[in-house]
């Protein structure tokens, strides 16, 4: 079990008496936690979401354990872990879902990664496709429908406990993925209805690419009028600037803040809303969440979902120390014309020097 600590102490400027949170990924329950599982070939739908067939300590407290499914006993085990742990300890199972294929993914494949990064990604699209705040391709919609069908079969065959809370990144591809995955699912009796919270800090790592620039709150509201925008969600994207990109250190501080809010609420109190939490997000951001909780690297294919059991230990009293200084961002030089093709790095035509000025404004 690897440990990592995020909070005010990490960045130095400790707030007096503030709490910090230590996260760890609890291994032994899922195949995706084992070094022997190959992420590139792992199919969550073929493996019961990766849940390992085993008995649990809490099984002894069940009278009818022989008639229960693996997922029913696992949920019971997590409920017991929470009941039997100290007040400052919280276990949650995060269902981390990567959005289905978006137009930006298709374009990166089409142009090749070096040319994509140093030119095309800085545009809103080409003459036939748009990838600024990209939408799902037809393939991406099918991947989300596959997740939907898998949840439906898990509800039927495993009587799986469906998420107690749903969070989604504010980028369109994630909003669409959550919608296709969870709308019209026949949820078990008493389950939390699907009414996700759009959470700013679960967005993709913020690069200068236009696909990382979110649309305004009015647009999100008009797309999904019944959904919740979290408190404080502002109209226009407060982060993307097209010049500087977030470093992975900065992204990890952001992800830790998002987890603190999911585990302990914005005021720092332990959340008793239930242990199963769905987070529909992105490849880079899920990698960051996995780093924060000390999970091994596990790269998800587009549309894939993995559950991870996470333990949070809050120490100290009072509010969780807010991050008062986060690692700085860096500029990303790029070309002003399509780069020389078939290269591994950004080489602009006519030996032009890469620039740091945006290629489009108000994308």
Q: How many residues bind ligand NAG (CB under 6 A)?
A: 24
Residue among 101, 200, 204, 246 flagged as catalytic:
204
Q: Residue 361, interface with ligand NAG (CB under 6 A)?
A: no
Q: Residue 218, interface with ligand NAG (CB under 6 A)?
A: yes
User: d(Cα 169, Cα 226) in Å, to the nearest integer?
Assistant: 16
Q: Which of 224, 202, 204, 225 is nearest to 213 (CA)?
A: 204
User: d(Cα 112, Cα 175) in Å, to the nearest integer?
Assistant: 26
Min dist CB 228 to ligand NAG, Å, is 16
Among 9, 15, 18, 52, binds ligand NAG (CB under 6 A): 52
Q: Residue 216, interface with ligand NAG (CB under 6 A)?
A: yes
User: d(Cα 150, Cα 305) in Å, to the nearest integer?
Assistant: 10
| CB-CB contact of 29 with 53 (8 Å) | no
Dihedral sign (CA 200, 201, 206, 211): negative
| CB-CB contact of 33 with 25 (8 Å) | yes
Residue number with CB closer to ligand NAG (215 or 299)? 215
Residue number with CB closer to ligand NAG (320 or 363)? 363
SS3 at position 95: strand
Residue number with CB closer to ligand NAG (53 or 350)? 53
Q: How far apart are the first and last CA of the chain?
A: 43
In the structure encoding, which two tokens stand for residue 351, read together? 């030996």
User: d(Cα 17, Cα 87) in Å, to the nearest integer?
Assistant: 18
The reply to whether 204 belongs to the active site is: yes
Among 42, 44, 103, 298, binds ligand NAG (CB under 6 A): 103
Stretch that binds ligand NAG, among 44-52, 237-245, 266-274, 286-294 (CB under 6 A): 44-52
Q: Residue 18, interface with ligand NAG (CB under 6 A)?
A: no
Residue number with CB closer to ligand NAG (49 or 264)? 49
Q: Residue 264, interface with ligand NAG (CB under 6 A)?
A: no
Residue number with CB closer to ligand NAG (92 or 104)? 104
Question: E strands along 219-343, which residues?
Answer: 228-229, 244-245, 276-281, 305-315, 330-331
Min dist CB 129 to ligand NAG, Å, is 4
Residue number with CB closer to ligand NAG (118 or 292)? 118
97 has which bridge partners?
A: 280, 305
Among 13, 17, 34, 110, binds ligand NAG (CB under 6 A): 110
Residue among 99, 148, 161, 282 flagged as catalytic:
99
- Between helix 138-158 and helix 172-182 the angle, nearest 10°, is 40
Residues at the site binding ligand NAG, with contacts judged by CB under 6 A? 31, 47-48, 52-53, 103, 106-107, 110, 126-129, 176, 179-180, 183-184, 215-216, 218-219, 223, 235
Catalytic residues: 99, 204
């Amino acid at each position: 079990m690897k440990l990592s600590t995020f909070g005010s102490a990490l960045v130095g400027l400790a707030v007096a008496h503030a709490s910090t949170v230590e996260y760890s990924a609890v291994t032994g329950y899922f195949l995706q936690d084992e070094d022997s599982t190959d992420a590139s070939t792992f199919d969550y739908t073929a493996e019961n979401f990766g849940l390992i067939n085993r008995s649990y300590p809490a099984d002894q407290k069940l009278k009818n354990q022989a008639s229960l499914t693996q997922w029913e006993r696992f949920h019971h085990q997590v409920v017991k872990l929470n009941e039997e742990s100290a007040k400052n300890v919280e276990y949650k199972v995060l269902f981390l879902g990567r959005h289905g294929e978006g137009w930006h993914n298709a374009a990166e494949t089409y142009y090749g990664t070096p040319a994509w990064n140093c030119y095309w990604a800085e545009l809103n699209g080409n003459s036939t496709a748009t990838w600024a705040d990209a939408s799902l391709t037809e393939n991406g919609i099918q991947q989300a429908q596959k997740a939907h069908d898998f949840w439906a079969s898990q509800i039927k065959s495993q009587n799986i406990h469906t998420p107690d809370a749903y969070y989604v990144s504010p980028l369109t591809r994630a909003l669409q993925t959550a919608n296709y995955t969870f709308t019209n699912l026949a949820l078990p009796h008493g389950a939390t209805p699907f009414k996700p919270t759009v959470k700013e800090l679960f967005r993709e790592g913020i690069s200068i690419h236009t696909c990382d620039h979110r649309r305004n709150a009015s647009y999100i509201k008009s797309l999904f009028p019944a959904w919740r925008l979290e408190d404080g969600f502002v109209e226009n994207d407060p982060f993307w600037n097209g010049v500087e990109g977030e470093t992975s250190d900065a992204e990890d501080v952001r992800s830790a803040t998002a987890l603190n809010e999911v585990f302990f609420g914005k005021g720092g109190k332990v959340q008793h809303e239930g242990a199963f939490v769905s987070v529909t997000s992105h490849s880079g951001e899920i990698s960051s969440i996995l780093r924060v909780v000390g999970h091994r690297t596990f790269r998800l294919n587009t549309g894939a979902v993995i559950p991870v059991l996470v333990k949070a230990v809050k120490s100290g009293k009072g509010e969780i120390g807010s991050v008062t200084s986060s690692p700085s961002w860096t500029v990303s030089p790029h070309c002003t014309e399509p780069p020389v093709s078939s290269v591994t790095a950004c080489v602009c035509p006519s030996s032009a020097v890469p620039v740091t000025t945006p290629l489009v404004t108000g994308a």
